[in-house]
Amino acid sequence: MSKYESVIGLEIHAQLLTESKIFCSCSTTFGNEPNRNICPVCTGQPGVLPVLNKKVVEFAIKTALALHCQIAPYSIFARKQYFYPDLPKDFQISQYELPLATNGYVEINVNGNTRCIRIHRIHLEEDAGKLVHAGSDRIQGSTYSLVDFNRTGVPLMEIVSEPDMATPEEARAYVQEIAALLKSLGVCDAKMEEGSLRCDGNVSIRPVGDKNLGTKTEVKNVNSTKALKDALDAEIVRQIKAVDAGERIIQETRHFNENTGQTISLRSKEEAHDYRYFPEPDLVPLEVSKEWIDEIKQGIGELPAEKIKRYVEQFGIKTEDVETILESPGMAEFFEGAIRLYGKPQIVANWLTGEISAYLNAKKLEIKNSKLKISTLVGMLALIDKGTISGKIAKEVIVKMLDTGKSAEEIVKESGATQISDEGELIKAIQEVIKNNPKPVQDYKDGKKASITFLVGQVMKVTKGRAKPDLVNKLLEKELS
Ligand code: ADP
Ligand code: MG
Ligand code: ZN
């Protein structure tokens, strides 16, 4: 890698969460029986006319504003022509020369560094249908294919970045950032594994320091941000090997095989002129008024990046904790609610991002559908503060709270896991530990004061975490002096 650097630009296709399709009133509901959500328009019958869905435009404008783009007061749709069985009209209505929005940017964080990635353009288009290959889950090995037009005409928004990413890791962070943004705007559910967010990775290499771009390849078929990173890593390695072997990189589309971890050539890249783009004669130009843009702007709530800044500034919690909180639906509201009742943001954040997130992730649950309530979490934190339970015991208590919905008090009462407050009982445990650990005790007496940490740990073990470490420390010192 030392001689070369990689350059990456991404094209993201996001399915917009409108109830109806982009050019007809068919439902966009996912998972219906094949060919139920169809009509003459989205199946390309002769003589029908498309009508643009206003909500689609609103969602794209919302996104464009959040990505600091300029919104074109005037943009047009175009026909992108190609033949494929999932495309009944033999052309896709897209935007080509005059897209809805251009020249934006988004900030991403990688290993503590903030990078600005420019957005080249955002445009609207319709999705194609879906081929269902019989007898196999792919073309290879199947005897015939069926076509499902339910997805045909589902609105897509394409977000094209500039080639501003230098590493596959940055590419991954970029997709995560865009996905979080789309979700928080409510315009796309951004599930890569289900295809509601799709991403093509364009990548090239060049000698370090070279200002010119090398020839790029486009990697398709990645259905997670991890697969994207792996695919780009593999493709960069392949390109370097090829160039070092004296080969030339050819512009092509490549397919990532997750099983082999390799990319393979799919087809040589078509050029724009292959599609014979021309302005869509059945749609009027899309005109967007300044008033409408202002109105949409007003309706945009706090964006993830703004929320991260605010949480860090207002609550003083760690950026990575904020990111974890924001990734999990409904957790930000929970967090703010808990702080209103309890204060101490970092402590609340530690519990939410630690034990609670681990539990929710393992059960594939969202916090609002879990049995934990803001009030019960705060109740548990109060028990720790009062010294009724130790932090260690609390980790077990919280799991039981999540399992049962009971309060911490109830659980503690049932299990008798309260902290030992009787000094006599503690001293007994301490004396036992002193007896069983002559070497560390001698070390301590010889001046190696640090060995008390070990002894405290032993006492905690003997009491099954039900002792207060600082009290144990004090009593131990007394016993040993
Ligand atoms: P195409 O016409 O092949 O789709 P575009 O110029 O529209 O190509 O770019 C598509 C994507 O590829 C954009 O995200 C862009 O940033 C990226 N890209 C363009 N050239 C390169 C390059 N040489 N290396 C890496 N990415 C590139
Ligand atoms: Mg392209
Ligand atoms: Zn339709």
Nearest of 58, 25, 45 to residue 153 by alpha carbon? 25
Which numbered ligand comes closest to the C-alpha of 269? 1
* Residue 204 placed within a domain: no
Domain end point (choices 237, 260, 292) = 292
The residue behind tokens 């230098």 is 166
* Residue 257 placed within a domain: no
Which atom of ligand 1 is nearest the CA belonging to 162? 16
Domain end point (choices 384, 415, 446) = 415
Are 158 and 71 found together in one domain?
A: yes
For residue 152, pLDDT over 80 is answered with yes
Nearest of 163, 257, 258, 268 to residue 217 by alpha carbon? 268
Are 345 and 467 found together in one domain?
A: no
The alpha carbon of 53 and the centre of ligand 2 are apart by a number of angstroms equal to: 24
For residue 135, pLDDT over 90 is answered with no
Per mean pLDDT, which range of 48-52, 167-171, 418-422 is the poorest? 418-422
Which atom of ligand 1 is nearest the CA belonging to 10? 14
Nearest of 260, 110, 239 to residue 171 by alpha carbon? 110
Burial label for 62, CB within 10 Å (0-12, 13-18, 19+), is: buried
Per mean pLDDT, which range of 73-77, 155-159, 254-258 is the poorest? 254-258
Are 157 and 39 found together in one domain?
A: yes
pLDDT in the model for residue 139: 74
Strand, helix or coil for residue 266? strand
Q: How many domains does the chain have?
A: 3
Are 170 and 277 found together in one domain?
A: yes
pLDDT in the model for residue 417: 66
* Structural domain harbouring 390: 300-415
* Substitution site in 82, 102, 161, 216 for ligand 1 pocket (most atoms within 8 Å of beta carbon): 216
Per mean pLDDT, which range of 151-160, 230-239, 448-457 is the poorest? 448-457
Are 337 and 474 found together in one domain?
A: no
Which numbered ligand comes closest to the C-alpha of 159? 1
* Substitution site in 7, 13, 175, 202 for ligand 1 pocket (most atoms within 8 Å of beta carbon): 202
pLDDT in the model for residue 197: 97
- State which amino acid sits at residue 210: D
Which atom of ligand 1 is nearest the CA belonging to 272? 2
pLDDT in the model for residue 293: 97
For residue 1, pLDDT over 70 is answered with no
Are 187 and 307 found together in one domain?
A: no
For residue 229, pLDDT over 60 is answered with yes
DSSP for 85-123? TT-TTSEEEE--SS-SEEEEEEEEEETTEEEEEEEEEEE
* Residue 190 placed within a domain: yes
Domain end point (choices 415, 446, 472) = 415
Q: Using one digit for the tens of pLDDT, what is the confidence trace for 252-301? A: 999 999 889 999 988 776 777 789 999 999 999 999 999 999 999 999 98
Average pLDDT of the chain is 92
* Residue 199 placed within a domain: no
CATH assignment of the domain containing 459: 1.10.10.410
* Residue 223 placed within a domain: no
Percent of the chain with pLDDT over 90: 73
The alpha carbon of 193 and the centre of ligand 1 are apart by a number of angstroms equal to: 24
Interval 31-38 mean pLDDT: 92
Q: Is the CB of 208 under 6 A from ligand 1?
A: no
Task: Tell me the pLDDT band of 425, cut-offs 50, 70 and 90.
Answer: confident
Are 123 and 54 found together in one domain?
A: yes
Are 27 and 58 found together in one domain?
A: yes
Are 166 and 280 found together in one domain?
A: yes
Separation of alpha carbons 50 and 42, rounded Å = 8
* Residue 240 placed within a domain: no
Q: Using one digit for the tens of pLDDT, what is the confidence trace for 377-397? A: 999 999 999 878 888 889 999
* Residue 237 placed within a domain: no
Are 158 and 124 found together in one domain?
A: yes
Separation of alpha carbons 452 and 445, rounded Å = 10
0.85 exceeded by pTM? no
Which atom of ligand 1 is nearest the CA belonging to 161? 14
Which numbered ligand comes closest to the C-alpha of 270? 1
Per mean pLDDT, which range of 50-59, 171-180, 455-464 is the poorest? 455-464
pLDDT in the model for residue 422: 77
Nearest of 294, 229, 220 to residue 257 by alpha carbon? 220
Instruction: Please check whether residue 22 is in contact with residue 52, taking contact to mean a CB–CB distance below 8 angstroms.
Output: yes
Interval 327-355 mean pLDDT: 94
Are 385 and 328 found together in one domain?
A: yes
Percent of the chain with pLDDT over 70: 99
Task: Tell me the pLDDT band of 127, cut-offs 50, 70 and 90.
Answer: very high
Are 169 and 44 found together in one domain?
A: yes
* Residue 349 placed within a domain: yes
